[in-house]
């Protein structure tokens, strides 16, 4: 991507006379330059992430660590020999998915997965009411799905992808530490999530399920991609939220007994910075976004990266430029002044503009602004600045994970594959390239392959359902 200053120089030539623009250019440059992270900044973020990861793994510092490094009790990657029919649930945002899964072999004895699935929207009152309301709604959706597929007579093994911070006590038992992503259902935090689901199924009484595993969406992504590349030992999500998991050496996972082999650890790195580790990198816009959020002071790293907050960050920067008389002739519409009005999808669409500015113009017009060509170019620069910082911040975190894995394994050069899912990674122009470049720049002794998870945590939930039966039998 051309640097912001290059774009600005081009704008100067096209749109302004030299005498009228120098101060404006310098002012815009100064404001947007705050978002740029140089290599030393990224190395520092990476080191701080590794420090918190180590603190999260250690028994004596785990409670106070911002990066919790939660054991998942997934102790081995699958062999591809797991077959059968399963039910899979996927809860990680405002949509909830139920899947019927057939896992088996095709005519050439290659592994295959067939799924039938249905998406359900979760009502606001279920998200923010009580745990009983939320899990009763989930059980209602399951009942509806089983009815449609004439499966209520069968007691299927069930795998549950649950994408919130959980402290596992076994592969089928996990305590919800705290809600994220706008969920606030009371009575769930501090309780066993699988137990809440089982209770809701029991209250309905019209079907039975054998809940064999609960995993995070990062774990589901890693398992899903492992079937395509047996070197996949890292899973990452960059969408509404942002998180990563990886296969850690058992000897370093102090929260679980045992020294041999590896266990998948859910980093819950979205909370990195909650103890002040990122204060010197957080800008005024980040603080406004955090203060207005449902969980102030929490998930601060995630708020710098994820799709849930990117649009609002861009809006706040635009308002700063308006107030400085650098954008829209110093006047903003009432809609643009409204929190949440500039959606994250607009950021993506602005960066996707072909160069004729029509897409940017249409977006800004829909917000009650009539922009000049120069305004359109400045808005594009704002979007690029915010999204580039997001990609670079995320890349520094993943580089920290991968370098730590290489050190643990004492490998001179480590070959590793990372499975990635999430709307920001999949749909955002330039995000992938910027992110990949930073990760590779910061991991000179690693050969990294990135695989995009084709069917998201849906396919992952399906596969983890199959793996779970084997895992339950092995008990790690």
Q: Are 312 and 287 in contact (CB under 8 A)?
A: no
199 catalytic? Reply is no
Active-site choice (217, 274, 286, 421)? 217
Pull the structure tokens for residue 269.
Answer: 């790195």
In residues, how long is the chain?
Answer: 476
290 catalytic? Reply is no
Active-site choice (68, 181, 303, 308)? 181
Catalytically annotated residues: 181, 217
């Amino acid at each position: 991507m051309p640097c912001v200053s290059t774009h600005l120089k081009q704008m100067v030539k096209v749109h302004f006379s030299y005498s009228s623009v120098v101060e404006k250019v310098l002012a815009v440059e100064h404001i947007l330059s705050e978002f740029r992270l140089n290599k030393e900044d990224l190395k520092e973020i990476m080191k701080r992430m590794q420090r918190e990861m180590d603190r999260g793994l250690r028994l004596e510092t785990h409670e106070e660590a911002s990066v919790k490094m939660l054991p998942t009790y997934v102790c081995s990657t699958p062999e591809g020999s797991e077959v059968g029919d399963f039910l899979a649930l996927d809860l990680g945002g405002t949509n909830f998915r139920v899947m019927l899964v057939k896992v088996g072999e095709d005519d050439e004895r290659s592994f295959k997965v067939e799924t039938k699935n249905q998406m359900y929207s979760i009502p606001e009152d279920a998200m923010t009411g009580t745990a009983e309301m939320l899990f009763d709604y989930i059980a209602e959706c399951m009942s509806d799905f089983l009815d449609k597929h004439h499966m209520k007579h069968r007691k299927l093994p069930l795998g549950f992808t649950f994408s919130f911070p959980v402290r596992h006590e076994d592969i089928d038992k996990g305590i919800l530490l705290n809600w994220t992503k706008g969920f606030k259902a009371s009575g769930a935090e501090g309780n066993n999530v699988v137990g809440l689901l089982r209770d809701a199924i029991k209250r309905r009484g019209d079907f039975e399920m054998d809940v064999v595993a609960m995993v995070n969406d990062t774990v589901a992504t890693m398992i899903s991609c492992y079937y395509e590349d047996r070197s996949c030992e890292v899973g990452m999500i960059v969408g509404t939220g942002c998180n990563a998991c990886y296969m850690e050496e058992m000897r370093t996972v102090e929260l679980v007994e045992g020294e041999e082999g590896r266990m998948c650890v859910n980093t819950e790195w979205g909370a990195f910075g909650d103890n002040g580790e990122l204060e010197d990198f957080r800008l005024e816009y980040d603080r406004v976004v955090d203060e207005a959020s449902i969980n102030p002071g929490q998930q601060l790293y995630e708020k710098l990266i994820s799709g849930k907050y990117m649009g609002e960050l861009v809006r706040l920067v635009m308002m700063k430029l308006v107030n400085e008389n650098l954008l829209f002739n110093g006047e903003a519409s009432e809609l643009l002044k409204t929190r949440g009005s500039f959606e994250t999808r607009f950021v993506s669409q602005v960066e996707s503009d072909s160069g004729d500015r029509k897409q940017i113009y249409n977006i800004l017009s829909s917000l009650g602004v009539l922009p000049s060509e120069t305004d359109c170019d400045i808005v594009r620069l704002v979007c690029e600045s915010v999204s580039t910082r997001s990609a670079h911040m995320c890349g520094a975190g993943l580089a920290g994970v991968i370098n730590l894995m290489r050190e643990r394994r004492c490998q001179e050069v480590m070959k590793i594959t990372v499975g990635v899912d999430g709307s920001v990674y999949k749909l955002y122009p330039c995000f992938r390239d910027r992110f990949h470049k930073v990760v590779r720049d910061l991991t000179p002794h690693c050969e990294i392959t990135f695989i995009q998870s084709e069917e998201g945590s849906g396919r992952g939930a399906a596969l983890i359902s199959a793996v779970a039966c084997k895992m339950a039998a092995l008990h790690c």
